Each structure stands twice: as structure tokens, then as C-alpha cells.
Structure 1
Amino acid sequence: MTPRHQRSHSRRRVLFALGGAAVAVPAAAALAPYALADPSTGPAPAAAGALPVTIVNSTGAYDNASVHVYIVGNVNGTQVRVTPDGTTAPVALADNGADGYTDYALSLAGSGETTLSLPYMSGRIYVSLGEKLKFKAVADGNGDAALQYPAGWVSSDPNYPVLHDCAEFTYNSSGMFCNTTMVDMFSVPMAVRLTGAADQTTGTLRAGGRSAAFAAVRAADGFGSLVVDDTRIVAPGHGLDAGLFASDYLAPYIDEVWSTYTGKDLTVTTNAGTFTGRVRAGQFTFAGPASVSFAKPSTRDVLFCDGALAAPNDGTTGPVAAVLGAGLNRSTLLSVPAQPATDAATFYTTALTNHYAKAMHAATQNGKAYGFAFDDVADFASYVQDTAPTGFRLTLTPFD
């Protein structure tokens, strides 16, 4: 299977399509890079290619009446939400109620499993427990209606007090591409199961995984402020923006990488071929199938896999940037000079590392999680896909 960081989907295009400036700014980092590829189909009836979606409440802490589901996203650049009958409806400013917010919640069945229908679209399935989420329809820069998504890592966001989380997907004529995500935060344990040509499950936490993740992040030096009671753990990038995490946390490790590779080579292998790089005049410069170079990133650049590590969809700079971003988050660049590192035993072994992502992976049964944007490098993300899907199941797993 081709590693997803080497595929030709565009994360940046998807971010724009899902709301651009209308989405709460911090939410941009929420999208995993390749599960949300743009739908490749042209305009189609809302019910075209409907995929059965089953929601299973196995929290053990909330009954079905306390669980609210939202399916929101876009079709061909238009922001939409899924209605109870399984069709898409464009977001409209008139959808805001007297309180200033929409109510797009889909209710679960009185008991047992709930079956919904998913049309072709790209987006997220949000779940909230106990309270409904406050999505606000606003006008974007072009005057079109768009949604302000929940930003649970922003204390002033109206959804900050609400226990909620989401999974991500693209469903189109090419298949179903989906994942659980902790890129922005971790709150509600959930798993996805995708059936079709294969039967695949990912995201499932091990017994006690949620509690273990909270405890591990709380105990890691410099990370404790990211834990918000028993509600959520904020990803360190967002914590940095909120003043909860040191802006120079990874600087010593980044400096050591830059210093080390002034005197020896780092190789990065991608679908385009092998790139060989050294630091010259402060730039990590690679030769190979193309010449690419990177300025020394900041801690924020590493945590968001952006800035100096921005990954354009060009087949050369993008894949190398993704591998560097993964190596810096996993702290493998010094110990593994031939990247990408593929042995999970070599990940997160240094004192200065992304302890948040480390805790997310340790919490799952299969060791896969989306702890940062390019966690799909070497296939360590909680991502599955199927070109002939027959069903999708989202299970809210126990709060233990």
C-alpha cells in the first residue's frame, strides 16, 4: 500500500473547502491530511451512493437520549449538513435560531443501534454528550453561508464546556476514506469500522485507555496544563497558542537535529525516490528527484506540521516535509538517519518529544492514532479506506 503521506490528495484544499475563514480559525488543524480528500464526483442527487452509517453508543455513561450526532461538511465547495432522511441540505443563515445557533443534531434511536444514511460528501461526524453543540451559520468572505465549527481547545468557544469529539471522512465514487482524530484534542473515545472489500476497524482504545491517556499527559513535564478536568486533552499546538504550552519546548531537539546534519547526511525515501540532505547555511537542503529545502522550524511549526514544514501537494517538497514533521514529532531524526522511521519502538524515546501523541498511540489497541497532522507517515494513523464500501460504523466506546 502506498503510504498516505506520498499520495496526491491536498490537505490545504480540503481545509478551504470545509469553511475557509468562516470556520473558527483554530479548527483548521483539526482535519487529518488525507481522509478528507475533495469529492471527485460532479453534482449529484443528495442521495446518490448512500452508505449505511451505524452509530453505536457503548459509552456506559450516557444513554442514547443524551447523545447528539452532527454530520457536516461540503459537497463541491458548498457547506452542507446531513438531515435525518439522509440527504444533504446547504447551510443557511436562516438556520440560526433565537439563540443565534443552528440545531443540526441527529437523534439516536431510543435504544440500541441507530442507522443513518450518508450521501457523497466530505466532512466530519461530531458527537456531543449531555448537551448539544452550538454551530453558528455565518457569511464567509464571499457572502456564502458557512459554519463556525466547535473549537473545544478555545476557552471562549461556546462549545468549550460541552463534551464532544469527531471523526472525519470523505465518501465519494472512489470509496470511503475515514479516520478518528486527536489532531486537535482528545475527549470522547470512539472507533470506526469500515466494511466492504475488507472489514477494517481502527481507533479502538484498549481497556482503561482513556484514563491512561489523561494520566500520561498530565504526568509529562510541560504537558499537564493541556488536560482540562476529565473533559478533554488539548493538543500541544493549540495549547501553545493558548499560552498553556511552551513555545520553545522542542527547540533544543530541533537545534540538535540541525547541528547533527551539518556534518552528515539524512536520507528521506518517498514515492518520487530518495532525497539526501544536509544543513547548509541554516537550510536543510535535499538533493534527489528534486531540490527541496527547509528553514529551521519552530516548535509550533513541528506541532502543526506547517510553517517551515508546510507540505505542498507537489509530490516532492510535500512528502519530504511530511517525513521531517513526523520525525520531529516522534523524535526519531537523530537516531534514524534513514527516514521515515518505521519501527514504533524507536518513537517518542527522548525526553523532549510529543508526549501527547505518544499517549494517544499508547491508548489504542493497534497502536494507531492521529496525534498530529502527519501521523499517517509510515501508516501509524487511525485511518482506513475502502474502494467498495458497504457500511460504516462509529462506536462510542467505554469511558474507562
Structure 2
Amino acid sequence: MAPTLLRPLAHATALGVVALTALAASLLGQPALAHAAAASLPVTITNDTGVNGPVYVYILGEDTAAAPGTRLGHVDASGAFQPWPAVAPGAPVEAPDVALTGPSDGSAVTLQVPANISGRIYYSVGEKLRFQLVRTGHGTTGLVQPGPWNAGDSTAHVLFDWVELTHNGTGHPTPGLWINSTQVDQLAVPARVDVVNRAGARESAGAMVPGGRQSVIDTLRADPAWSRTIVTGPNGRILRVLAPGHATSAGLLSPTYLDPAIARAWDAYRTRTLTVRPFPERPEVAFFGRTEGDVLSFTDAAGATVAAFQRPSSTDVWGCEGATNGLGNAALPNDQTTGPISRTLCAALNRGTLGTSAVEPVTDPAAFYPASDTLNLYSAAVHAAMVDGRAYAFAFDDVGGHESLVHEPRPARIELTLQSLGGGAEPTPTPTPTGSPEPTPTPAPTPAPDRDAALEVVLGPDHPGWATLTLGEGTEPGLVSVAVSGGRTSTVAVNGPGSVRVDLTGPTGTRLVTLTSSAALGGASLALPASATPPAPSPTATPTPTPTPTATPASTPSPAPTGTPAPEDAATHAVEIAAGAPGWATLELGAGTAPGLVTVAVEGGSTATVAVGGPGLVRTDLSAPAGSRLVRVTSTGAVGRVAIHLP
């Protein structure tokens, strides 16, 4: 999946994405403000998670008063903004470690947030986060944000979350603080935000009720359609619940889940009119919608057509993007018609009011999330777990004022409390059975199949970067993520029990390899190539490596000369992905393909890496929204003719 670049308050603010972007852009024409004259804000972070282990904090964002070319960066321990270093064009590179020491469980630390910054405060528990930098098309340094819902992301097994903020100094035309908790992408570590102003008044947002995180988990676990959106780490700890858009792209929620509700909503306005009043402060401004075919069109008071919307897909609605941007728009317009109507429609579809309402937005939360076999159960559960019912559970949850945001024009300090993780805080140990004089007459139930495994390997200096993964009985078809501690994470598609060659790139020494599958895993073992096995015995059996994950024989290509790396090569294909596609395909590599690591990147979808031994067939992740997609295949070795076979 394409890197996610840091942008000001991505997804959610009370100003709305468009308005806030305009606010940040307005700074570009302002004279640079002296940082010495701009007051910083103390932020006290309290750890009430109940989880043992270190906490790391990252204050990252855009310095809106800095010179062009140095606008993205991080805040150091002294509270000063530091721009990211310049990087060369090409692939993303590892960012410097800019972690700040956070509070241990039951304690607090105070850090400083400078003025004129817009971005995020990340906090991770137990492990540090790894960020990457990339050269942008404008010649500046961009930040690749963590995306644990993406296959192969380095943060997939890290417990972390963030809040979003914009802090404008007193010299700014609109000074003040905007800060919010967010569950637009995931719910992992809930945080209560408190802002105290200069008069001593306090305002809070984002607080969950006691046990709130666990109640969200329990609600989704009880629904078979949503239960797989709960992500558990290798040690049994629940790391996060994915928002439906990311869960869909990861293959954990049906890509057509919301389609019936969307169709009902569009059909409802074939015979009656939908009135949209998007501006609470200007109720006289109204737009009138009717459906014809699959298009919901809106007219203004004069009868002129001002906006039209093709019936969106579930994925469009989860992300408030795609077809919800309006016909002919690749992005949401920054205007006074299509943009505001789009926000209103997307909120209504997520809240389940569109189709039954005559006027939108509906602002009474009692009408939200009516009982249905297709509703945004994630958003409903998150809002239900909040003390005040307010949350950012989808991109435009601020429609009607239901977002978890604090806006303070004269802030004095910020308090950020990492709340208890409840029953998911630590792995639940298996209870030890007590002795009993009577044998238990009923056999124990079959345990649920594992989806995670952890193996230890020793990588020698001549390790070629791959290994053979053997999966035993009980393994079901699915996508297996292979994460090497301190090294690379890759994804491979498996058909069931058997052997498959996997990427195993990492530094020399003893390494933990974590396997995570979208389906059940049987017994797992890793076999290093015989030439790369270090003198110390490997903890796993070492069968003869299988050159490809299929039994299809293929001619062996001429090896590259000793010591000469195989040339890089690439191919691009167009494929048509149908709605409900299983998320994988068979990649056929023809004569001339050299052994190496092949990356398969789908436009707007997944990116997977698979090790190949030469020509042959290999099953690969191919997840993306339905439609025509470009698939780019690149390899560390030469690639012969490439063909992609969909199921």
C-alpha cells in the first residue's frame, strides 16, 4: 500500500479536513514567527493502562511557521521543533529514533508542545515505533506514518495509538489549541484529553467509561461479521480493533458488508426528496436530492443541479472517499456545495440514518445506529463506550458536533491520560486445572486454532535472505505475515499445509520470527538454506528447501556469475478485481526469472513480498477494492514473462 504521509490533523477536526488544510495553508504567506516568542504548552501524560513496560512518546508534525523545506519534523526533549533531515530521492529510509521517554504504569511525565505545530502525539507501549522518511515530489522530506493495518508494516505487532492537535501561537490570526482523540483508524490505547485554560477552566474529551475498551472488543467479538477486526499479538494481548475501512482492506471484513444499507438509502429517495442543510449557522441554505438510476443528484433553491453522487461502495463509505466525493471528483472539493453535502451523506450512511430521514444531518444521537443486520457496529460500539458519547470513529464524525474535540483559544496546559486497557491489557494465562477425585466425564472442547506463532532462528553472515516455512496439519488457506525482529516483514499466501519459500531478511544473530495468519495455523517450522545455517544448531528442523511453493516443475535459469547480484527488473499488469474477490492470485513467472524477492504492489491496495526460486507459480496477496487495478511486480533478480491469474 502506498506510504501514508503526515498531514495536519489527518481525518478529523471540528474545522473539518478541508477547512483545517486551508488554515494551515494560510500560514505559508505569513512571515516566519520567532519561536522564542511563541509560548509552548506543557503536556502531562499519565499512564493508567495497567500494562507493565516502557512507554515511548513521539510529538510529530508540521511546523507551520518554519521556512519552506523544513516544515515536517519532531519535537525533542527540550520542547524544540527539529526538522527531519533531507533524504535522497527513492525508496523510504529509516527515520532517526526520536522517541521521548514516557511514563511507566501509574506514573506521569510532562513534555512540551511548541507553538505553531499541527500533527500527532504518538504513544507506544513496550516497543518503540519505527518511522520512515521519503523525498517528496516537491523536494522536501515527507514522513511515512505507521500503518499497522497494512501487510508488512513494522508496527503491526506494536501496541500504540495517538491523538491529533494543532497549536497556533499568539501571533497567529487564529491562535489557540485544537486537540482530539481519534478512532478513525483503530482503537488501541484510549486516551482522555483535558485542556486547562488560563482562567483555570477545564474541558475534556475522549474519555471512555471504565471497561470501555473491553466493551468495544466484546461487542465486535460477539458478531461473526466483525469478530476478525480484533487484532491479537503473538503473546495473546489484544493490540487493536481496526476501523472497518482498514479491516476491509486487510481482508478481515466483507468488502460488500454495507452495500445493502447503501442501496436501501439510495432507493429511498426515488419517490421522495432528501433535504440537506449542511450549515447549522445558516439553516436557510438547503439542497434537495432525488435518486435516478444509481445517482443521487442535488439541486439548489433555484432548481439548478449543484452536485451528484454515484451510489458508493462500502469501502467508499468507510473512508468517506471515492464515490462520496461526488461525480467527477478524485478528491473532496473545497467548496460550499459538493463538499458539505458529501460530509453530510457520509456521516448519515455511517450512522444509519440515511434512507429513513427526510432532512440531514440528523443531530439526535438517539436516532443513530438503528438495529440492522448491516450497520457500522465499530462506530456504534465506540460511541457507546464514551463517557459523553462523543468520538471520532469515522472521518466526518464531527457532522452535528459529535466528535471528541477540545478547542481552547487561550490554553495553559494539556493533560493526556492513557486509560486502562481492561481485560485486553495482558495475555490471559491458561488456568491450571485443580485436582478432582472424580474424572471429568465430558471431553475438553477442541481449542480454537492458533493464528499466531513465534519461532527463533540464528541468521549467519552468509544468510541469503530467505527460508522455507513448513506449515502442518490444521493450516487453512490464507495470508501469512512473516516478521523478523529487527528485519523485514513480508506476506505470503498459503493454500493450507505444506512448504513455502518466504522472505527472511534480518541482521545476523538470533532473531525472533513472528507468524500471523488471517486463518488457522497448524504447526510451523522454518528451515534455513544449508549454506547459510550457522554453526550453532537451528532450533527448527532443516528439510531441503523447496524452490517454489507449488509442485509445478520449471526449467532452472542460468545462475548469475558468482558475486554478481541479479539485475533488477519489473513488470506492470492491469487486472480487473471483482467485488468479493478472495484477496489472492497466482503469479506465474516465466523462463529467465532468477531467484530473489518479488514485490507485488496493487494500485490502491496491498503490497506483498514473496521469495521465489526461479520460474514457476506462486500464490500472492492481491487485495484491493473492486475495479480495474494496476499491479506492479518488481524483483531483486531478473523476471521473465509475468502473468497474473485471478481465482
2:243 corresponds to which residue?
235
Q: Which residue, 196, 199, 213 being the options, matches 1:210?
A: 213
Identity %: 37
Distance 2:113 2:261 in 1: 47
**Off by >6 Å, runs of 4+ in structure 1:** none
8 Å CA contact 1:70–1:106 kept in 2: the answer is yes
Between stretches 189-198 and 345-354, larger displacement belongs to 189-198
What are the superposed Cα offsets for residues 201-245 of structure 1, whole Å, 9 maximum, x if unpaired?
A: 010110110111111122224111110021101111011112221
Distance 1:398 1:211 in 2: 10
1:317 corresponds to which residue?
338
Distance 1:31 1:316 in 2: 20
2:352 corresponds to which residue?
331
What are the superposed Cα offsets for residues 76-118 of structure 1, whole Å, 9 maximum, x if unpaired?
A: 4621111111111111157xxxx94421111136743424233
Distance 1:30 1:217 in 2: 26
Q: Which has the higher contact order (CA 8 A, sep 6+)?
A: 1
- The alpha carbon displacement at 1:24 in A equals 5.8
1:12 corresponds to which residue?
none
> CA-atom RMSD, angstroms?
2.4
Letter in structure 1 aligned against 2:211: G
- The alpha carbon displacement at 1:58 in A equals 1.8
1:304 aligns with 2:319: yes
Secondary structure in 2 matching 1:270 = coil
What are the superposed Cα offsets for residues 36-67 of structure 1, whole Å, 9 maximum, x if unpaired?
A: 7243543223452312222111222236xx11
8 Å CA contact 1:194–1:393 kept in 2: the answer is yes
By percentage of residues, which structure has more strand? Answer: 2
TM-score (structure 1 length as normaliser)? 0.87
Between stretches 191-200 and 334-343, larger displacement belongs to 191-200
8 Å CA contact 1:137–1:146 kept in 2: the answer is yes
- The alpha carbon displacement at 1:74 in A equals 0.8
Q: Which residue, 279, 283, 291 being the options, matches 1:279?
A: 291
What are the superposed Cα offsets for residues 332-367 of structure 1, whole Å, 9 maximum, x if unpaired?
A: 112222111111121111221110111111111111
Alignment of 1:383-398 (within 5 A): 383-398=405-420
Letter in structure 2 aligned against 1:215: D
8 Å CA contact 1:120–1:171 kept in 2: the answer is yes
Distance 1:212 1:363 in 2: 7
Alignment of 1:88-107 (within 5 A): 88-93=81-86, 100-107=94-101
Distance 1:52 1:283 in 2: 50
1:108 aligns with 2:102: yes
8 Å CA contact 1:152–1:160 kept in 2: the answer is yes
Secondary structure in 1 matching 2:108 = coil
Q: Which residue, 259, 262, 272 being the options, matches 1:254?
A: 262
1:167 corresponds to which residue?
163
1:288 corresponds to which residue?
300
For this pair of structures, how many residues does the alignment match? 374
Distance 2:5 2:156 in 1: 13
Letter in structure 2 aligned against 1:207: P
Q: Which residue, 153, 156, 166 being the options, matches 2:149?
A: 153
1:186 corresponds to which residue?
187
1:14 corresponds to which residue?
none
User: Tell me, which stretches of 5 or more residues in structure 1 are unaligned?
Assistant: 1-20
Distance 1:357 1:30 in 2: 18
1:354 aligns with 2:376: yes
Distance 1:346 1:248 in 2: 24
Distance 1:250 1:60 in 2: 36
CA pair 189-181 structure 1, distance change in 2 beyond 3 A: same
8 Å CA contact 2:55–2:103 kept in 1: the answer is no
1:199 aligns with 2:202: yes
Distance 1:107 1:188 in 2: 17
Letter in structure 1 aligned against 2:127: E
Distance 1:360 1:287 in 2: 35
Between stretches 193-202 and 131-140, larger displacement belongs to 193-202
Between stretches 337-346 and 206-215, larger displacement belongs to 337-346
Secondary structure in 1 matching 2:270 = coil
8 Å CA contact 1:22–1:146 kept in 2: the answer is no
CA pair 29-302 structure 1, distance change in 2 beyond 3 A: farther
Distance 1:385 1:209 in 2: 24
1:23 aligns with 2:26: no
By percentage of residues, which structure has more helix? Answer: 1
8 Å CA contact 1:165–1:188 kept in 2: the answer is yes
1:11 corresponds to which residue?
none
Q: Which residue, 209, 222, 226 being the options, matches 2:225?
A: 222
TM-score (structure 2 length as normaliser)? 0.55
8 Å CA contact 2:9–2:120 kept in 1: the answer is no
Distance 1:59 1:163 in 2: 11
Distance 2:203 2:413 in 1: 11
Letter in structure 2 aligned against 1:83: D
Distance 1:245 1:28 in 2: 29
Secondary structure in 2 matching 1:210 = helix
Q: Which residue, 35, 56, 64 being the options, matches 1:68?
A: 56
Between stretches 125-134 and 102-111, larger displacement belongs to 102-111
- The alpha carbon displacement at 1:274 in A equals 1.5
2:274 corresponds to which residue?
266
Alignment of 1:115-126 (within 5 A): 115-126=111-122
Distance 1:307 1:108 in 2: 39
Letter in structure 2 aligned against 1:219: A
What are the superposed Cα offsets for residues 259-294 of structure 1, whole Å, 9 maximum, x if unpaired?
A: 110100111112251111111243211122672211
Distance 2:395 2:112 in 1: 29
Distance 2:56 2:374 in 1: 38
Letter in structure 1 aligned against 2:335: D
CA pair 28-247 structure 1, distance change in 2 beyond 3 A: farther
User: Tell me, which stretches of 5 or more residues in structure 2 are unaligned?
Assistant: 88-92, 233-237, 326-331, 423-647
Higher Cα radius of gyration: 2
8 Å CA contact 2:94–2:131 kept in 1: the answer is no
What are the superposed Cα offsets for residues 271-322 of structure 1, whole Å, 9 maximum, x if unpaired?
A: 2511111112432111226722111111111100111112422122111111
Distance 1:189 1:106 in 2: 19
Between stretches 308-317 and 204-213, larger displacement belongs to 308-317
Distance 1:24 1:158 in 2: 16
8 Å CA contact 1:50–1:120 kept in 2: the answer is no
